[in-house]
Homo-oligomer: A and B are copies of this chain.
Amino acid sequence: MHTIRTVEAAAYVGQPVRLTGWLHNLRQLGGVNFIVLRDGWGAIQAVTESEADLEPLVGLGLESVIALTGVVIATPQAPGGVELHQPHIEVITPITETGPVPLNKRQIQAGLPLLLDHAVVANRHPARQAVFRLAAGAMAGFRQTLLAHHFTEVQTPKLVASATESGANVFELNYFGRPAYLAQSPQFYKQIMVGVFARVFEVGPVFRAEPHDTTRHINEYVSLDVEFGFIESHFTVMALVRAVLAGLFSELAAHYQAELTLLQANLPPVPENIPHLHFAEAQELILKQHGVDVRGEPDLSPQDERWLGEWAQQEHGSDFLFVTGYPMVKRPFYTHPDPANPAYSNSFDLLFRGTELITGGQRLHLYGDYLAALARANLPAAPFETYLEAFRYGMPPHGGFAIGLERLLMQLLGLPNVRLATLFPRDQKRLTP
């Protein structure tokens, strides 16, 4: 007899099988008993009219770990189209205590604090499982697309000797008696690695000591990072962003329909050419369409982004919009200026449904330009010595981008809080579970 996963049951109609998992639900309705087993991939229902079949569950509660043995019956009206009849029930781990969060309702009936305090158990809920299965699928789709484009995966250090992009908002620790910091991003290392492999990507944690208390910020998140050489400009990077998003969503479309349906989420079509607007054009558009003059502002506000998102949808039928050429003054020192107008940069943000999802651009690649940029930013060169070595000994024009995995899920799934896209979120108040 095969031991199978719930999602495989439809392929075993008429055959005896064994399934293992958690007692997700038990309903006794007028002499008919429904036992629902949940495993790591889905759920299956077993039906019996015999009280004797239920004997092993007497006195036990939900989340008891069990095995069900029985013949798979095609049952169109059952969830998943199959069920077991008159199962043999074996108890693997008996549970009697009632859990902190009910798991057997379609919607999770718990507020955010309760959900996060008890994430250890709450993440077992099918709707929570679905979010994190999609996270795994997003990582897989990201990597597959980049491997197909001949990128090499790297793992760069998270313990660093100096704060990278900015001195503020960095976690400091005691490293054998001297200060070390947690990397805010793999930015410097991924650039260095362009000198080695020309095209690199990394999936890993980044740490931001930002004292933000918003629905969009957490202090540790998973960053999907890309960097590559021999580009023309930031438009080469934007073309890769487009390919990566298309590859990522097509992986989800191919293998995660059940999760998307459960979460009532729609995958956005990724246009062959994602529309783009220059930063200055975007500000003109806002003035023209909404009568609000934001020209001269060095950045876009959330309201600006929403307006631009609406415009992209109306004008181009696109959930996505690139805004290019952000002013240099708001971009980090390694940003490449627009050669035609050096107050603007060869950088971009990708707005997804009216909210920034991805930031990227072309970087400086000449050693002399780095020395000048650090001087302009009033930064000493010494802490950047090893980073600068990459440029001193030959770097091509290059650029890249980063996607926050949790933000991507939040926006894709319409979650009200990024914490709901994080297994065990870290914020100012939360270090557990």
Contact = CB atoms under 8 A, between A and B. Distances in A.
B396 A158 contact: no
A3 B207 CA distance: 38
B396 A20 contact: yes
A226 interface: no
Interface in A111-129: 118, 120-121, 123-124, 128-129
Q: Is the interface of A mostly helix, strand, loop or mixed?
A: mixed
A156 B424 CA distance: 7
Interface residues of A, number: 92
A157 B158 CA distance: 13
Contact of A175 (B120, B159, B171): B171
A140 B147 contact: yes
Residue picked from A3, A120, A135, A178, most chain B C-beta under 10 Å: A120
Given A120-B387, A123-B196, A154-B132, A171 B171 contact: no
Interface in A1-46: 3, 5, 20-23, 39-41
A133 B152 contact: yes
A381 B298 CA distance: 52
B40 A389 contact: no
Contact of A136 (B153, B205, B366): B153
A342 B166 CA distance: 54
Interface string A389-433: 110111111000000010000000000000000011010100111
Given A92-B396, A93-B396, A136 B152 contact: yes
A386 B122 CA distance: 12
Interface in A38-96: 39-41, 63-65, 92-93, 95
A121 B389 contact: yes
A303 B197 CA distance: 39
A278 interface: no
Contact of A154 (B153, B178, B423): B423
A40 B133 contact: no
A198 B405 contact: no
Interface string A376-394: 0000000000110110111
Contacts of A197: 40-41, 129, 132-133
Residue picked from A154, A172, A203, A433, most chain B C-beta under 10 Å: A433
A199 interface: yes
Interface stretch (A187-195, A322-330, A353-361): A187-195
A433 B389 contact: yes
A97 B394 CA distance: 10
The list of the 4 closest CB pairs from A to B, nearest first, reads A40-B198, A386-B433, A173-B173, A63-B394
9 contacts: A41-B197, A95-B394, A97-B392, A118-B389, A124-B196, A133-B152, A154-B423, A386-B433, A389-B433
Given A92-B230, A93-B397, 9 more contacts: A21-B198, A120-B389, A139-B155, A143-B143, A161-B431, A171-B173, A173-B173, A176-B211, A193-B423
Interface of A: 3, 5, 20-23, 39-41, 63-65, 92-93, 95, 97, 99-100, 118, 120-121, 123-124, 128-129, 132-133, 135-136, 139-140, 143, 147, 150, 152-161, 171-176, 178, 180, 182, 189, 192-193, 195-199, 203-205, 207, 209, 211, 219-220, 222, 229-230, 365-366, 386-387, 389-390, 392-397, 405, 423-424, 426, 428, 431-433
